[in-house]
Amino acid sequence: MSTPQIRLEELQLIQCSLMPGETMTFVEDADFWIDALGQSTERDIADFLPKDEASTALFTLKLDNKPIWFQVAVYMQSDGHLISVKGNNMSRGEQERWLDIIREKERETEGVGFPLYHLLSQLVPMLHDAPLDRHTEDVKEQHEPTQAENEPTFHVLFTSHHLISSKKRRSLQQWTSQLKLSGFAKIGYPGVIYAQGRQKNLEEFVSNVKGMQWLALRVRFVEAVPKDTSGEHSSQGTLLGWQEFSRVGEVVEEMKRIGREEFVLEMGIGSSGSA
């Protein structure tokens, strides 16, 4: 059985395991993926699946009345996946806790059959038990700044002809997790990579990215995030972990959300005529 067939069976298993109050919603090409999950035979699955290496099933897992949810990208041509934690007004400390939990559970489920299914089978119950009150953690973060938080934040922007390889996408996820960076990648044509974090960690990330083979990779900038007139780092929002986008418009919207849209617009990303 091919890898895409196995991945689709895993998606079917995840869908069938949902309990009342748990919702699986496809973010892109919803009609296609709903039809795909409805295929019952191995031949039907093989005929239905896309052959494109970049094919990705992107869905959310949400619980009724819970402000935190998972966004999951499943790379159909490989055994890779990317789980992001989303939430309404989620604090940085809470975001980091969830990412640590995901990494720990990924290690525990490594090597088992249908690893994403087993991973979510452990994570979703924890989501049910997640406390809703973030006030205590928010106060703690405000009064106990760490050394890393006192350091200037640096950011980097890459562009390339394309970003399709699932191997590269897994590497980006792994590096940003290990180096405690946040940011996003825009897959397809063109490729865009944006990341931020501590200077030393970001420089290592830049070196890693440049060490891979690319077509027309350009480092647009590596610099400290500018400060506004109050002396604070310029940002209206917070980047949460590592995300993937498929459209340039999503890149612009995300940069606008954190108050940095000029960094992509000045590079011609999102301007008239861009992909």
- Tokens standing for 21? 């109050």
Provide the 10 A C-beta neighbour count for residue 230.
7
Question: How many whole angstroms separate alpha carbon 199 and alpha carbon 224?
Answer: 8
Q: What share of the chain is helix, strand, coil (3-state, %, to 5)?
A: 40, 25, 35
| Model confidence band, residue 237 (pLDDT cutoffs 50, 70, 90) | low
More confident residue, 121 or 42: 121
Pairing of strands 68-75, 182-186: unpaired
Query: At 60, phi and psi to the nearest 5?
Result: -110, 150
| Model confidence band, residue 44 (pLDDT cutoffs 50, 70, 90) | low
Question: How many whole angstroms separate alpha carbon 173 and alpha carbon 153?
Answer: 19
Q: Which amino acid is at 8?
A: L
Q: Give the per-residue pLDDT at 110.
A: 82
pLDDT digits (tens, 9 = 90+) for 169-227: 888 988 988 888 999 999 999 999 999 999 999 999 999 999 998 989 999 999 999 87
List of long-range contacts for 266-272, beta carbons under 8 Å, 24+ apart? 267/157, 267/159, 267/220, 269/159, 269/190, 269/192
- Tokens standing for 221? 């900038």
pLDDT digits (tens, 9 = 90+) for 49-76: 555 545 788 999 999 888 889 999 888 8
Q: What residue has token string 């990412």? A: 99
Contact between 182 and 230 (Cβ < 8 Å): no
| Residue 138 CB partners (closer than 8 Å, separation 6+) | 91
Question: How many whole angstroms separate alpha carbon 79 and alpha carbon 15?
Answer: 18
| Model confidence band, residue 107 (pLDDT cutoffs 50, 70, 90) | confident
Mean pLDDT of 99-128: 87
Q: Average model confidence (pLDDT) for the chain?
A: 80
